[in-house]
Amino acid sequence: MTIVSLASTGPYSLELSLRAAESFAPAGSSPPHETPEVLRSAVRLDGEAAILEVRQVNDEPARLEAEVRTLGSGPSGRPGPPPETVADAASRLVNAALDLRPFYRLAAGHSLLGPLTGALHGLKAFRPQTLFEMLVIAVIEQQISLLAAYHIRERIVHRFGDAIDGLTVFPTPESLAQAPAQELAECGVSRRKAEYIGGLAELVTAGALDLGSWEQLSDDEIRDRVTAVRGFGRWSADYLLIRGLGRPDVAPADDLGIQTLLGRILGDGRRLSPDEVRSALAPFAPFRGLAVFYILAGSRLSLI
DNA sequence: TACCAGGTAAAAA
DNA sequence: TTTTTACATGGT
């Protein structure tokens, strides 16, 4: 067991972020939390499956506490992972490095975003533990409804991931590279998507895609690398930038769900074209992605 | 039943 | 070069 303390840059509300995350999941998909203020996540630390729990211990300045349990750790087992590893994993999950204050200053004067950032003060999106996971999820979500994608993803995770303490860690690139396309397709993805996932997993396993170094790259450099992989277009690249890397300014203009949402909230109810999405989001640069996330969360939480 | 849903690559024109 | 088509699940 390892416990570490970490700070969030600027304001943060774990409780609000948990409520937003829950509102994005299909109704009834997650059992009611016994402890709604704790983020509980199955992760892989130094190659070993672990449960990572994050709780907030102070509001301003925002401070969090992360606790890890692995199967091997405990009174008689090996020691848990080193504190830096735990702190890094937890910081990534809660996007601790993102500072919301400049976004709030920009939004303050806006008729919709002003009140919304007030009501959602401290809200950040959780990030997945790895970019590999985010890319696989992007493929699954291509073209089909989020609900259908959710069921397919659950099947893949349970079939190829590692169970620990009632949760399941996302499959490794190695396990998906070894999975026959037929077995992936049995989880509900198309034959072609199974090839995309297998191809990605092989590239990562072979070291041809060094996802770990992508944090340092610019948005456009990452778009180039993502779209060079078969099965990954502009939409998937933007999806990775926003959800996987938390890049605050990515405007997902090709996203059907965003086109529909912005048409309803900012437009006349009709779905917006990609160009109309770009125009609608222009006032929020360099925080266009954050603006979309706040509008989406506000919509899901029935605030707008 | 047919169509749409937070796309993409490959075939056809 | 541009347009059309196939693909999988789940809801309406």
Q: What is the CATH number of the domain that holds A21?
A: 3.30.310
Nucleotide closest to residue A232 (CA–C1') = B8
Could you give the C-alpha distances from A160 to A140, A179, A195, in angstroms and in order?
15, 8, 16
Smallest CA–C1' separation from A143: which nucleotide? B7
Are A146 and A240 in a shared domain?
yes
Which among A244, A265, A293 is the end of a domain?
A244
Q: Which domain holds residue A268?
A: 100-124+249-304
Distance CA A101, CA A240 (A): 23
Instruction: Say how many CA atoms lie within 13 Å of A42 toward its Cβ.
Output: 17
Give the orientation angle of helix A274-281 with respect to helix A288-300, to 10 degrees. Answer: 100
Q: Are residues A115 and A70 in the same domain?
A: no
User: Straight-line distance from CA A190 to C1' B13, in Å?
Assistant: 26
Q: Is the CB of A271 under 7 A from strand C?
A: no
Residues A70 and A139 in one domain: no
Q: What is the pTM of this model?
A: 0.97
Query: pLDDT 10s per residue in chain A (304 long)?
Result: 789 999 999 999 999 999 999 999 998 777 666 677 999 999 999 999 999 999 999 999 999 999 998 876 555 556 778 999 999 999 999 999 999 999 999 999 999 999 999 999 999 999 999 999 999 999 999 999 999 999 999 999 999 999 999 999 999 999 999 999 999 999 999 999 999 999 999 999 999 999 999 999 999 999 999 999 999 999 999 999 999 999 999 999 999 999 999 999 999 999 999 999 999 999 999 999 999 999 999 999 999 9
Q: Nearest CA to the C1' of B5 belongs to which residue?
A: A145
Same domain, A192 and A239: yes
Please state the domain count of chain A.
3
Contact yes or no for A288/A281 (Cβ under 8 A) = yes
Angle between helices A131-141 and A191-205 (to 10 degrees): 170
